[in-house]
Amino acid sequence: MPTILYRNDQNISPGDVMKIAVYAEHVGRQCYDVFAEDGSRSRSETLSRRAQAVSDSLNFGNEPYFPPETTKKVLDLRTMVSGMCFDRFGERGHMGKSMDLLGMAQDVDDVLDKLVIYHLSPEELEEAEADWAHEGQFRPTDDISGDTDSRPKV
């Protein structure tokens, strides 16, 4: 599991805080994580509490700052939602994540990039590189060299 370091110089804007607030509000009202065999769905107490805890801990001032406790709450909510939480439901039990939720999740990831630094152990780094190489096989290439690695070159 990666080590997470919290940044002191966060460079957070009020708009960043609003992105987190909108995400927590959407999750607290639209996402479900408990599904019964009869097709009914509900929101677990844990999901509700985590969304509310994030909302309650946000600083909407002109110069916002995320203390490590708030950042951890955002990380915990994002982790839970990225798993078995859905906000879109179709016929025959189809569950999915809406484009709105996916967009909000990307916004949250962008804000979290300003708040935390992930350090991987050598084993985790090796595993991540192997996953990247495997996933890279499925990315289209734009040049004729066949280079599928879309990461910036150093």
Nearest to 63 by CA among 110, 11, 1, 116: 11
Which helix (DSSP H) or strand (DSSP E) does residue 126 occupy? Answer: helix 122-136
Query: How many angstroms separate the CA atoms of 102 and 13, rounded?
Result: 21
Query: How many angstroms separate the CA atoms of 14 and 76, rounded?
Result: 21
Which residues fall within 8 angstroms of residue 85, CB to CB, at 6 or more apart?
Answer: 27, 31, 32, 33, 47, 97
The predicted-structure confidence for 30-47, as pLDDT tens digits, reads as follows: 999 998 888 789 999 999
The structure's pTM equals 0.77
The predicted-structure confidence for 110-143, as pLDDT tens digits, reads as follows: 999 999 988 778 887 888 788 778 777 766 666 5
Residue 70: pLDDT above 60? yes
Residue 72: pLDDT above 90? yes
